[in-house]
Chain A
Amino acid sequence: MAAVSTAKVTVTPTQFHFVKYESQDIIDVVTELAELLGVANPIHVIIDETTPLSKLASEVDGVSSDAILTLRAESGALEDTKRFTHFSADAARGSLGRTLLRAKDRLRSDFADTPDDPELSLAENAAWDTYCAGRLERMGVKLNKQRWLYNYRNRFGFSDNCDAAFERLWSSDDLSWAKLTAGP
């Protein structure tokens, strides 16, 4: 039986004009993810519906159990890629799941030195995405591992050495920021 999350989830905007999304659908996905990941903090999700891109970012305003976790997503990150402007719960689970895991990581003391998301390099982003996607997949969220391997290769190189580093990140569960960004 799944644990019941006490996380309070809010979404901005409450009504969408550019995409056919319902804020309640997003609340449902994030609530389900919070239960899955054991997150009880309040969560605020901010969607930029004016762009079809899919950039994501997370912020925390402290490290306590009542610190607010803010997840930012461009609308493409939650979109059904077969139907423009339509919401996909699967896409949202993958995107917001990774972002929520990042926010959860930021609550740890060994992530205290982590730069804010806009300051992260492309390589740091790729390493952290790999680490988050691997954990999500093991929790049962549907993901295409090859997609993340391709993303990692684009940042670190197309070599056996890089593929081995990808596998280590993908299968890890308890990394610090320093270990996560140690590179191949």
Chain B
Amino acid sequence: MRQFFPVENLARDERFVQTNMAERMKDARTTVDVDAATAKSRASSNRLTPDRQDASDGARSLMHGIMVGEIQALEGAGRTAHDFAAGDGSGDTIPFELKLDMARQAWDEARHVEISAKLSDWMGTDLGEFAENTVLFEAACSNDPILRLAGVNRALEGLAIDVFTQMKEFGNLAGDPYLEFCEDWMLADEVTHVKMGSDWLRKVTANDPDRREKALEFQQVVDKLFSFGGARGETDESPIGLARRFRELAGFSDDEVNTISKMDSDALEERKDAIRAFHEQADAQPTPA
């Protein structure tokens, strides 16, 4: 069976249309206030809660994002279990027990895909109704298995903790029993997946500090990407919050969570700068007669 599968070759049927972060960031529209002149035209909070006017559509869109994320997480964990030979963790090998953990994760993700597909149906969403951002699988394409652990298990699954916490709270506030229940169960699995990544990263790099540092740097790059231009953050300007408690349970230190929070905040400000520049460019264009 083929190893190291490129993102372009992911198997999808005709319902799915894929996109990536570069395309996503080209969209200069925004839900956040970039200047005082637009302040009154925007909601006071962007946090995805049931009291938003577009709450159910926002939840449907996020739920679809979760579903395609679960498909890619399944594909990523499966690839890591298969792509590397069993060994002592040096070079291109991974411990056999790590392969077993990846196989277990793939099993969990397959169950999450089924749950998410059924939740999407419950919420009135067709599979493939929204664009599929492939950024999640892209983080699972590194040739170094330790970078995959950092990018997928720590950054990607860390994002999943934040998103599931947000959706569980949404279900609770809206009184949606299925949404709250399902998100709670999936959240428990995600905490385990992050913990597996944290533990294996420390174990495999115990005698290789350079490799560990490189992996943690890669995690920061992926974490910033997964902040989606500040869509995740600790202020109400971000639709998705940072789930500090569950991240702590998953093996993140306070310093690590603070670093992620700072990156989210920086990403939001960078996004605002980019949007301001686009507004200025649009304003400078001549108005048709």
Contacts and interface: CB of A to CB of B under 8 A. Distances in A.
B249 interface: no
Contacts of B278: 18
Given A50-B30, A84-B131, A154 B50 contact: yes
Nearest to B175: A158
B122 A84 contact: no
Nearest to A157: B175
Interface in B235-289: 278-279, 282, 285, 287-288
B51 interface: yes
Interface stretch (B56-64, B134-142, B202-210): B56-64
A58 interface: no
Interface string B42-69: 1000000011011111011100000000
**In the complex, which of the residues A18, A48, A54, A122 has the most CB atoms of chain B within 10 Å of its own CB atom?**
A18
Interface residues of A, number: 33
Contacts of A148: 124
A81 interface: yes
Given A147-B124, A154-B55, A52 B176 contact: no
B3 interface: no
Interface stretch (B21-29, B160-168, B192-200, B212-220): B21-29
A148 B259 CA distance: 40
A55 interface: yes
A52 B53 CA distance: 14
A84 B30 CA distance: 12
A150 B60 contact: yes
Interface string A4-21: 000000000011011100
B29 A52 contact: yes
A149 interface: yes
A26 B38 CA distance: 25
A52 B27 contact: yes
Nearest to B177: A158
A83 B176 contact: no
Interface in A125-184: 125, 144-151, 153-154, 157-158
B53 A82 contact: no
Contacts of B29: 18-19, 49-52, 75, 85
B123 interface: yes
Given A48-B41, A49-B29, A52-B29, A82 B17 contact: yes
Contact of A151 (B17, B23, B56): B56
A18 B176 contact: no
25 contacts: A15-B287, A18-B28, A18-B29, A50-B30, A51-B42, A52-B29, A52-B30, A54-B57, A81-B131, A82-B128, A82-B129, A83-B17, A122-B51, A122-B55, A125-B53, A144-B125, A145-B124, A146-B124, A147-B60, A147-B123, A147-B125, A149-B124, A150-B123, A151-B57, A158-B175
- Minimum-distance CB pairs A-B, first 5: A147-B124, A146-B124, A82-B17, A17-B282, A151-B56
Interface of A: 14-15, 17-19, 48-55, 75, 81-85, 122, 125, 144-151, 153-154, 157-158
Interface of B: 17, 19, 23-24, 26-31, 38, 41-42, 50-51, 53-57, 59-61, 121-126, 128-131, 174-177, 278-279, 282, 285, 287-288
Given A50-B30, A83-B17, A146-B123, 6 more contacts: A52-B27, A122-B55, A147-B57, A150-B56, A157-B175, A158-B174
